[in-house]
Amino acid sequence: MKSQEGYSDIEERELVVAAQAGDRAAFKEIYDRFRDRVYNLAFYSLGEALAAEDVLQIVFMKVHRGLPGFRFESQLATWIYRIALNQCLNENRRRSAQHVPLESLLGSGDEIDLNSSPHDKRATSERREIIRQAVLELSPKLRAVVALKYMEGLSYDEVAEVLGCSPGTVASRLNRALAQMEARLRPLRRLL
Amino acid sequence: MICWRIDIQRNFSRYLHNELDRKAAEGVENHVLDCLSCRAALSRLRDGHRFAQQMPRLRPERDVWAAIEAAIESDNAPAQSPARERVTRRVAWPNLSYAQRLAAVLAVVVLLAAGLLLIPDRQDPDGGQTVWPAIAESFDQKVFHEVSISNIGANTKPHVVAEGYVSEVRIDKDGDLTFRLVEDLQRGEPFIVCEIIEPIRLEAPSVGSRVRVYGVSRYDDQENHRWHEVHPVLNIENVPR
């Protein structure tokens, strides 16, 4: 096995070819590049950190197994996201994600003043938690589309390729997701 | 008043993401100038878009690379084993009659039976443990920290080996296999839940058997769980009683 270090500047294609040839350092570099991205996608799809870590682990085992058959017919990222989303679907099928209801964070529909000390780290962390929970309140299909668009910054065409649907469906799901998030967070609109 | 220009409304999220061509973007802008309902809808989506842009980017709490690497090792082992290759190679049937084929099959069965009687169990000279050979060949047992079932809560190492009796075996809907490891078969607790996940193909231990389980230690804090796990299981050794 070729042993090589310092893959950070190498183009993705070379990296894949090296990993296909059994270079463990190259595969580790692929893992490092995609670890957080796959984790975020898994977290927002499943709504649970431990399950997302499991998915991360299984996804890269599957990527390693499938890599010899990868023929560059799609982007590496698209291929890995597809594996990740399929794994999330499997995981969602066998477990019902337990979400903390947003009401428990918001208290009531009345506006809450979270901004008493705007630079307070705690307030920032609470805002993030509220937004995170609002995303987790969406259906799994909408969550996946939101995570791919807002976490990964994919275009509509790229999201469509990962999900195996049309760009129009992506647009329609994003419209619904944003409308639902807005309705959910409307009481906090001026504070977020 | 409700606006029925679905063709325009369908483009709202693309408009917010700057993914419309100039003509379509102008179409949206011109329409919302005149349509109160769509102007309000677009404004609401813009707020939703602003909220979504604040989604926190997360990082996994633990690095799962070590577990992935260990799984790759065990995954690679069977393919590298010449013995395994010989067994799995497709048998080519020459032009034999049915009776000749039957005789050949019977001869193979007899030879295999004789082989099983003559070949002793693979034994570890120290512990007298039977191991699954393909996995064992690639397995570095030194990296695994010995833990007891009752004291696994005090463990801080990622890779552990625990020994105990298998009290139950379950198969999930997705094919993953889970078994419980206990110190005493008469008592259900304390226990460790061990999970064999799909990419790592290990044989399930039988209920009542005593085994040593190698894998990644973790705590499942889901509401109905809250137990210690070996997940994924990377190797199982059968311990003769």
> How far apart are alpha carbons A12 and A25 in whole angstroms?
13
Lowest mean pLDDT: which of A90-99, B187-196, B200-209? Answer: A90-99
Instruction: Say if residues B67 and A61 touch (Cβ distance below 8 Å).
Output: no
Mark yes or no for CB contact A135/B52 under 8 Å: yes
- Nearest Cα residue to B83 out of B129, B115, B130: B115
Q: Are strands B159-171 and B145-147 parallel, antiparallel or unpaired?
A: parallel
Q: Which chain A residues have a beta carbon less than 8 Å from that of B53?
A: 150
Among residues A145, A125, A176, A178, the alpha carbon closest in space to that of A44 is found at A145
Chain A nearest C-alpha distance from B36 (Å): 17
pLDDT, tens only, B34-68: 999 999 999 999 999 999 999 999 999 888 888 88
Distance from CA of B62 to the nearest CA of A (A): 8
Please give the pLDDT value at position B175.
65
Confidence of residue B11 (pLDDT cuts 50, 70, 90): very high
Which of B47, B55, B72 faces A64 most closely, judged by CB atoms?
A: B72
Q: What is the DSSP letter of B151?
A: T
Q: Could you give the 3-state DSSP secondary structure of residue B11? A: coil
Taking only Cα atoms into account, the Rg of chain B, rounded to an integer number of angstroms, comes to 30
- Res B30 pLDDT > 70: yes
Q: Kindly tell me the sign of the dihedral angle through the C-alpha atoms of A126, A127, A128, A132.
A: positive
The distance of A73 to chain B (nearest Cα, Å) reads: 24
CB atoms A94 and B174 under 8 Å: yes
Collapsing DSSP to helix, strand or coil, B57 comes out as coil
Interchain proximity B174–A177, CB inside 8 Å: no
Residues of A in contact with B64 (CB under 8 A): 53, 56-57, 60
Q: Give the torsion sign (CA, A188, A190, B1, B2).
A: negative
Q: CA separation (Å) from B197 to A27, B77, B160, B181?
A: 21, 17, 17, 16
Helix (H) or strand (E) holding A88: helix A76-94
| A38 close to A78: Cβ distance less than 8 angstroms | no
Q: Which residue has the higher pLDDT, B129 or A125?
A: A125
- Total residues belonging to chain B: 241
A–B: how many Cβ contacts below 8 A? 142
Res B222: pLDDT: 76
Q: Give pLDDT tens digits for A61-109.
A: 999 999 999 988 888 999 999 999 999 988 877 665 444 444 444 443 3
The C-alpha atoms of residue B174 and residue A65 are separated, in whole angstroms, by: 19
Whether residue A123 lies within 8 A of chain B, CB to CB, comes out as no
To which H or E segment does residue A126 belong? Answer: helix A121-136
Query: Per this entry, what is the length of chain A?
Result: 192
Q: Could you say which of B19, B58, B221 has the minimum Cβ distance to residue A43?
A: B58
Which of A87, A130, A182, A189 to probe by mutation at the B interface, max B CB count within 10 Å?
Answer: A182
User: Per the CB < 8 Å rule, is B48 touching A179?
Assistant: yes
Helices A24-46 and A76-94 cross at an angle (nearest 10°) of 50
Question: Do A107 and A166 meet the contact criterion of CB atoms below 8 Å apart?
Answer: no
